[in-house]
Structure 1
Amino acid sequence: MARPTTVPQARALRRRASETERMLWKLLRDRKLEGLKFRRQFPLGPYVLDFVCLRHRLVIEADGPFHDPTQDAVRDAWLAAEGFRVLRFPNTEIQLRDWQVIGRILEVVGAPPPQP
């Protein structure tokens, strides 16, 4: 369940998404990826997740230049305790090798890889 303070924060983050987050959202939205339903800037507990597929309990994080590895580890541990898997991708990988990002997501959810 989301905390009351994370809902307005999630709405604000949706409005001011980074270019990389918008690029990734284009690939994930509207069940384009093997019919998987993703949500963006989803409030969960004390956190706002970049992208989440609730059916597969999979969190996708786009890591920009301001991510703190120590805080990320705490967050990832909390999410793991809640039964979520977390995939983190650096912005440069999303921007330059989006097919590898998609391949890794599909690998994790057990879906067949996309046909070239």
Structure 2
Amino acid sequence: MNRTASWSPPWTLAGAVGVAFCVAYSAAKFGVEGSMESLHHDVEPFGIHTTIVEPGFFRAELLEDAGLEQPPLRFVEGDGCLEAVEAKARQLLAQVDASRELGSNLAHGNAS
């Protein structure tokens, strides 16, 4: 029997982008998102799909009404939220690029 399931509890933008004056709240939400991202890899072989919902201000339609056959791992909703997550992604890529050479040289296989 081939079954699939989906789990997409709504989280908050604070799990993707740090929010001023909300250190503990943001830290907790980052942790929840990290655990959901890891859970995704654990349950995917069993046909269970997880989606992290990053809600901003939006209409009440969620993934069920979106007509998606397989929801993405991370679903970002709302104009303000989309912009914030895109800016965070650009920052992360810039940080990866800035540390690429040093980070690559520190790989275990490069130890002398």
TM-score range, shorter chain: 0.3 to 0.5
Structure having greater relative contact order (Cα 8 Å, sep ≥ 6)? 2
Q: Given the two structures, how large is their TM-score scaled by the length of structure 1?
A: 0.34
Q: Which protein shows a greater Rg?
A: 2
Q: Given the two structures, how large is their TM-score scaled by the length of structure 2?
A: 0.34
